[in-house]
Every structure is written in C-alpha cells, then in structure tokens.
Chains A and B, each alone.
Chain A
Amino acid sequence: MPMNRLARKVALLFSRRRFRRELEEEMAFHRAQLEEELVAGGSSREAAREQANRQFGNATRLREQSHEAIGLRVETVAQDLRFALRQLRHNPGFAVTAILILALGMGVSVAIFGFVDAAMIRPLPYWQPNRLMDVAETARAWPRANLSLEDYKDYKRLNKSFSSLDVYTEMGYLLETHSGVEPVNAARVSDGFFSTLGVKPMLGRGFLPGEDQPGKPKIVILSYGAWRTRFGGNRGIVGQVVNLSGVAYTVVGVLPREYAFAPLGEAELWVPLLDPAWCEQRRSCHNLYGVGRLRQGITPQAALADMKAIARRLEAEYPDSNRDQGAAVQPLSELILHDIRPVLELLLAGAGLLLLIACINVASLLLVRSESRRREIAVRVALGATPVRLTRQFVTEGLLLAAAGCAGGVSAACWLMALLTHMVPKAMADGLPFLAAVGLNRDTALFAVAVALGAALLLAATPTLRLSLQPIRDGLQEGGRGHAGMLWRRMGANLVVAELAVAVVLLVGAGLLGQSFYRLLHVQLGFDPGHLAALDLLLPDHVYPKDAQQIAAFREVLDKISSQPGVVSAGLTSVLPVQCNCNTDWIRIAGKPYNGEHNEVNEREVSPGYLATLRAQLIRGRMLTDDDRAGKPNVIVINEALARKYFPGEDPLGKTIGDGKLSPDSLRQVVGVVRDVHESGLDTEVWHTEYEPLYQNADIFTTLVVRTRQAPGAYLPTLVKTLHVLNSNLGVSNEETMEQRIGETQSALLHRFSAWLVGCFAAMALILGVVGLYGVIAYSVSRRTREIGVRMALGAQRSAVYALVMRQAGRLTATGIGIGLVCSVDASLLIRKLLFGVAAWDAPTFACVALVLAGAAMAASFLPAYRAAGVNPTEALRAE
C-alpha cells in the first residue's frame, strides 16, 4: 500500500501539468453547474455567478490545498534552490573554496575507489572465477614453487578436488616477420587450460584434449593484441602458418579481447605443452604453475588437504626429487592480488582520510558562515519561517554544494584514474589486467553518489545542529559578543582538532612510507648500477642447436660489443640482479654430511666478464675467465652468503659442490668468492648464489649487460643496431638501463606508488588542516575584536594580545597533534607490512611530523594574531 502510494505520487510528479489542467477543468465545471442551476432557479446571470463563486469558496486557496494534498511542493523546492544559489552567488569566495575542497576530496577517493573496485570487487573475467585455484608445490624455502611436469601428471591423476587441473609456463619465441625475427613472449599450456578458465576463443577453436601430447601437430592460439598488431586483425588467420623460432605452427584460434591471464600477462602466443622441453622429463625440473577448477562443494581447504596427501605420497615414492615438498592451493584472485591488495587498501584508507578532512573543512567553513548568518536566520524566524523550513533550506544548500563538489570530483577522478593508469609501467600493467577496467562505470558512479550524499548530510547537519543548539532570539540582538562565540568556539574548535589529528596520521604514514622507499633505493646492491645497459637476447635454437654453436655466437656478440667505442665492458647472465630469488639449484658439498635435504641456491650462468662488468667485488680467489670453457675443469664462483652458510670458518676455495647425488658431471670446484650481489628483489634478502660459466652450460635465453662510458640510455639504440647488424638471427628485446630495470621491479614500484600517493594525500591534508586552523583563529579574532579593544584600553600590552591568540591556536594544535600521534601508532602498525627498513613507531618520523605541523600551524595563526595586536582600542570600542 505505501509502495502504491509512492508510485502514484511519483507518477503524479511526472504528470504535474496534466494534474493541474484536470483539476482546473473539474473546478470550472463545478462552478458552471452551480451557476446553471441558479440561473434555472430564476437568478440573473450576474448574481448567479457571484453566488456560485461564493458557494464554491476561494478557488486559489483550494487549488493550493489540492496541490499540497498530493505533495506537489516543487514550487517551494525551487524556491529553496533559488535561494541557495543566490546565497552561494552572493559569497562566491566561500562557494568556490567549498566546492574545490569537496571536489578534491571526492576526486581522490573516487579515483582510488575505481582501482579498488576494478581489482578487488569485480570478479576475474572467467567463468565462475571464485572456483579457480592457483595450484603449486612448496619447498622448504618456497611457499609457492613451480610444479614439475611429472608431479603435475600425478596430481592431475590422483586428486579428487578439481574437476580440471591444468598447467602453464612462460616461453619465448622468435617470430619470423617481413623485417626479420622478433622475440615474442609466449606461453606453453596444457590442453585443458582455456576450458578450465572457461574462456572461448573469439575466432577458431581452443585446444582439444590430447593436443598437448608429444608428437602432436604444432598449433598456436593468438592473443587478441597479437592478432591486431602482428597480424593486422586478419579474420582469415585461422589455418595459416606462422614461423616460431624456425618451426611452423598452425594458427587454430584467436582469444577474445577481454581475455587476460595476469600470471602470464605479456604472453602473445599460446601453444600446447607438446614435447617436454629442457629438463621436463626429470621429476626434479620445476617450471610449471597449475590452475584448477574446484569441484562443486569442495572448499579450497579440502582441496589443499587432498593435494598435501598426494604430495606426501609422492615424497614417499620419489624421495630423491620430492623430499620436503608439499602442495599449495590458493584462490587465483589471491595470487593476482596478493602484492597489490595492501597497497590498494592503504591508498583507499588514505583517500578516505583526505575526504574526511575535506568534509570537515567545508563543514567548518559553513559553520563560520552560519555564524555570520545568525541575523538573517533570526529575521527569517521572526517573519514566520518554521524550523523545518529553515532546515530544509540548509539541506538544500548542503545538497547543492555536494552536487557541485561531486560533479567536480568525478571529473577530477576520471582524469586521475587515467593519469595513474598511465603511470604504471607496461611490465607491471601486464600483470594487472584489471587496470583496463579502471574508469567511470556503474560502481564508481554509485560510490561517487554515495560519497556526495554523505557529504551533503554532513554539510546540512552542521548548520542545522548549530541552529538547534542556540536560541535564535539571540541572533537579533546586536550584542551577544561576550558569549555567542562560545558555542561556535567549542564546535569549530573540535572540528579543527579532528582535522589536525587526521593530518598527523596521513603525515606520519607518508613519512614512514617515504623513508621505506628511500631505504629501499639505498639497499646495498653489491654492484654499481650506474652506466649499465641491459637487454634480453634469444638465440633461435634451430640455427644454433648445439651448445658449442651457442657459445660461439655468444663469444662473437661479446667480442663485438666490447670493442665498440663507448663501451667499457660487457657480459652475459641468465638472470639479471635485483630481479628474484629464482632459477635455483639443489647443491651438496662434497665431503660434508648430507641427508638428502634440498639446499636451494640461486644459480646464474654468466660469461667471464659479467661479474667484472657489474663491478662485483671479489673477496677471495679469482673471477671466471675465458679459459673456463667446455672441456676444461668445471668451476664455480660463489657469493659470500653461500660461503658463510656452507663453509663456516673454512676456506671455500678448492672445495667441490655437486648435485644431491654428487654425480660426476655435476661436480664443480669453487675458485672464487664475491661479495653478495643483490640478486633478489630490493625488499627480500639475498639468497646463497652460485655463478657458473655460461661457456660450460649454454642456454638460448640470456641477458646482455653493457657498462658504458656515457649515459647508458643514450647508448641503447646504437647497441641494438650493432647487434642486428652483427647477427640478424638474434632476438633482441627489453632494452633498458639497469636503473630502469631496478625501478620497474615490483617492490620498487609498489613502494614508490604508495610513498608518492600517500605523500600527496598528506601534503593536501597538511594544507587543508592548516587552512582550517587559520580560519578558526581568524574568525575567533574577528569576533573578539571588541573584547581585545577593551583589554587594550585597560592596559593590555600587544604581547599579551599575541599571547592570547597564540595560546588559543597552540592549545588546539597541541590537542590535534597529540590525538593524531596516538592514532598514528595504530595506523602505522596497520601498514607495517608495507614498511621496509623502518619501524612502525619510528620516533624521529613522529617527532618530525609534530614539528612540521606545529610550525605550519603557528605560522598560520601568526597572521590573525598580528591583526589582533594591531587593533586600535578606540576604533574597536566604537565599532558597531
């Protein structure tokens, strides 16, 4: 029933004009009938009309009553709105300031919410994504380690938790094009990969069961991006043949545009597993990750238990390869968002605080204004405005401000979202496919409206509350200066204290994050990253099938590049430093007790000049030399950490390291020890690392590092050109300076983003907080001009007036800072995980923030104090 009523009311609202016309006609008809009747009764037309009108009543009033009966109050709403607009126009400074501050707060929070929404609220673009699990193995040092192909087959066969379980691994190919070969990122996946995700190709077909088996035809599926950029969006591509590293593959499908698989963000080509590559025949060769779809009714915990049981079984069955190995199962979304989630939460909290400050600021502006509108309000009450009508006026003004702020905020948010999305480097953006969905959409619009409504409520409530707290009668009295300010002081003061406290929290957060970022950038790298250029090289294995041929090609590259003018030295490595603890090897020290445990160490295959090019420091023995090549004794250089761990108190030189079984061809003699080079990401500890001669263990994927005389960035194009001229078969990609590579690592990016953004939030909060304080003090001084005049007339010194004002400001600031510092301890404990090299309760940061804020606050209150001290007592007393 009430719903029907509402519906009728809304319907009426839309057919207002018709409603009025019909009512008019009806009432006219009534009067006409009355008149007719009277005429028929013998009256004259004139008298009949008069009598009819009298009998009918006051038509205007009745019409109004009818309108009111159905709630058509549009007129009064319009009146409120007009009045509110006039009020704002009357005082454009206030309106512009309020709207700008609101737009700032809203813009920032809506923009950050846009990212949170795209990343954490929207589901992944797969069928029933919440049942997709990331499946991996664990090792002693790895909470999430790759699966080996043999283990995967067993997991797939034995598990009862997944309706399908598939694997993927990254891959690189040299794609043959008109202009030569181009290295392309690719993925090798098991046959059911796309059907597990629930992704159907846009053109052609997916992989069929069994198509990933050895010896099956070579086929490839293209990503939408590769199809558009590399094949011109040719719809007839299915069935055509492409040449990948010298092998012909038939295109069978093209993936849809919205498809993205974050763990393999850069992959453009998708091929089935087919022939086991490299070491895949070995059970100890871990190079795959799994993705599984949970059966209906199976929880991730149950699946994990199931997988762990299988892992134990495999460990018992294959003790050599599977010792200490477990299983790991987590939601796929967790894998994708794990690193970015705390940053997003941090930013959302920061933006929320900024919004809070902005609202408080505007609320206190409104309060000041309502204070100066006391007389107007009192007059309106005296003329018969009801409290309801006054409240409605305030609500209208609040809504108007919030609406304007919201409009500005949404535009600002759109711009900010685009800006921030652009600031994410491509390498990272590939791993965060949700970035494409960031923008103004239903969710962000809803959020913006919700925030605007909240702000409107606050803005409307502040003056209304004030209205109800103070007898309006007082407003008409011109005096009241003595006590009228009291209430305002109390409320306005509380608001500014809250503002300052929030600013402290943001400043402390920014200080801690900034310090973390600084510490991160100043981590001991163990090498000199300046003047280093790096690029990835890929040799086509059909041209260089044998190790000796690959080594010859590498030698040729190094000889050529090293002899270039502008080049100091050059080297090759399998993995650059500051990337990851990865590409590991299990080692065993000959002549030491061994119980089959997996001693995991980073393994890097490097050319003789590599460590010298990095300027790594040799501590003992010698570096690798040109003479350490195939046919010569196998040698190895180890880092200090490895020496400390496995050769405590002894000289590692001359000792032998081998694999778990100490098989003869795995044995290597330690010839040198270098100071730790930071192989792992900046915020992770460096593992034990061994450097093996590339010339004794070649691979088609390597990274070239060149130390240049001039700026390395400027040298990169020459370097690429030289390589192309030297050998057109070489795949060259990702040419960057070493410093860029380090800056683009995930840990550096996440820290940089959080430090910068929270820093910006804090700066804005500082400005808003200090401006708020200035407003409070300036207003209070203006209200107390007479009081100050009296004091001075009675002999108060200027210094006493200064003290009076500064004491008030000092009290507010001290309270705000005090509360803020206490809250900051809690807040910084919450962001502890995002800190690096600095404690959450870092006292210097807290002290600095307190000092900065106190200084800014004192500076802001000095101006009103100066003005107060300049008051001329006679003028002040005569005023008003």
Chain B
Amino acid sequence: MSRKPDLLPGTLDMLILRTLARAPLHGYGIALSIKRLSNDVLTVEEGSLYPALQRLLLQGWVKGEWRMTETGRRARYYTLTAAGRKQLSLELSEFEQMVKAIGRVLRDPQEA
C-alpha cells in the first residue's frame, strides 16, 4: 500500500528549485526549508527528495557539489543552474495559471 503524496504531482520539483533559488543547500536543508516556509503544511516524506534531486541533476537544472557543513560533516550541496532558473520561472508561471484557473472554477461552479 503506497502512501498518497501530500503534494500535487510535479510540484515537488518546483518546490526544490524554488528553495534552491535562494541559496545552495544540501538535501536535509532543502527538506527543512520547505517544511519551515510552508509552516509544516506541506509534509513531504522527506526521502522522496532524493529521487527528485537525481531527476533534476540529470536534467541539468541543478548541480551537486560536496562541501563541509558548519558542523564539520560532509554533505552534497545543490546549486541552481542557469537552465534550472529558466525552468523554475516556466514552471512558476504555468503553476500560477493553473491555480488561477482552479480558483475561477471554485469561485463560480455554475459557469464551469
């Protein structure tokens, strides 16, 4: 029995890209950041970040680099690439359009 994801499909990638747009982070940092910014509303099964990150790496939207954390442990930091930035703005505008469309439908069910 697989658990239904709490996110809209495809939004995880966008969230990761958006998070990385601010600063390079490691996987754990990304998870923390998403949790914090969404006031714990979006609860992700945290490990599912990793398949998503591999996908983004393969697409060339993020870059991975091993660095030391403040606590002196080795961790892979992900950075947004130029292509990733472009992809993010594309996905954001698509998402906004979709949200607007859903919003319109929800406001006035008769016209649907």
Contacts and interface: CB of A to CB of B under 8 A. Distances in A.
Interface stretch (B15-23, B70-78, B101-109): B70-78
Interface string B51-90: 1111101111000101000000111100000010000000
14 contacts: A1-B60, A5-B58, A9-B58, A23-B54, A26-B26, A26-B27, A27-B27, A29-B27, A29-B75, A57-B46, A62-B47, A65-B50, A69-B52, A69-B54
B95 interface: no
Nearest to A23: B50
Most buried by A among B27, B54, B66, B75: B54
A66 B54 contact: yes
B45 interface: yes
Given A33-B28, A70-B54, A56 B47 contact: yes
A675 B109 CA distance: 112
A34 interface: yes
A258 interface: no
Contacts of A5: 58-60
B1 to A, nearest CB: 12
B46 A30 contact: yes
A871 to B, nearest CB: 55
B112 to A, nearest CB: 36
A57 B53 CA distance: 16
Given A9-B58, A33-B28, A57-B47, 17 more contacts: A4-B60, A12-B58, A25-B76, A26-B26, A26-B75, A27-B27, A29-B26, A29-B75, A30-B46, A32-B73, A55-B45, A58-B47, A66-B54, A69-B51, A69-B52, A69-B54, A70-B55
Contacts of B75: 26, 29
A50 interface: no
Interface of B is mostly: helix
Given A1-B60, A8-B60, A30 B74 contact: no
Given A26-B27, A26-B75, A69-B54, A34 B46 contact: yes
A59 to B, nearest CB: 6
Contacts of B57: 8, 70
A627 interface: no
B31 interface: yes
B48 interface: yes
Interface residues of A, number: 29
A698 to B, nearest CB: 87
Contacts of A69: 51-52, 54-55, 58
A9 to B, nearest CB: 7
Contact of A34 (B28, B50, B51, B54): B28
A59 B48 CA distance: 9
A53 B29 CA distance: 17
Interface string A1-36: 100110011001000000000110111011011100
A88 to B, nearest CB: 35
A68 interface: yes
Contact of A57 (B26, B28, B48): B48
Contacts of B53: 66
Interface string A47-78: 00000000111110011011011110000000
Contacts of B73: 29, 32
A70 B27 CA distance: 17
B110 to A, nearest CB: 42
B51 A65 contact: yes
A50 to B, nearest CB: 15
B16 to A, nearest CB: 13
A1 B83 CA distance: 10
A8 B64 CA distance: 13
A56 B44 CA distance: 9
Contact of A26 (B45, B59, B60, B76): B76
Contacts of A26: 26-27, 50, 75-76
Contacts of A70: 54-55, 57-58
B9 to A, nearest CB: 14
B48 A62 contact: yes
Contacts of A34: 28, 46
A30 B46 CA distance: 9
Contacts of A63: 50
A63 B49 CA distance: 11
Nearest to A55: B46
